[in-house]
Amino acid sequence: MNIKPIKNEQDYQQALALVEPYFAREDELNEQELDFFDVMVTLIEAYEAKHYPIDPPTPIEAIKFRMEQEGLEIKDLDSIIGKPNRVYEIFNKTRPLTLNMIRNIHQKMGISADILIQP
């Protein structure tokens, strides 16, 4: 195995090019190839986390995304957030989520409370 740290963008691009072929045949890799693949992906993820961080979604973005995933409409949130006018107030940021709403959204929609608690 020829493994080295990823220190800059050039190293990062080379690492991506090295592991790309492994994705297509992941089920066919032998133990040595799997070890190499695992180590390289770990290095790539560490570099990406440091240089290309992804901010968590806002509470509203998370709710809308889950609605899209589940095929939900505003009226489907009656038992979770409240009547449609209340949901629109939340979505338009004229009313904050209450603790009770956060609990309901977390329990019924499976959205992390950490995301919902953000300002």
Mean pLDDT by 10 residues, the chain (119 residues): 90 95 90 93 96 93 96 93 94 94 96 90
Domain with CATH 1.10.260.40 in the chain: 59-117
pTM higher than 0.85: no
Among 60, 61, 53, 47, residue whose Cα is nearest residue 6: 47
Q: What is the pLDDT of residue 102?
A: 96
Return the pLDDT at 1: 63
Burial class from Cβ neighbours inside 10 Å (0-12, 13-18, 19+) for residue 18 reads middle
Q: Region of 29 please: left (phi>0), alpha (psi -120 to 50) or beta.
A: beta
How confident is the model at residue 66, as a pLDDT? 97
CATH for the 59-117 domain, from 1.20.950.20, 1.10.260.40, 3.10.20.520, 2.40.30.170:
1.10.260.40
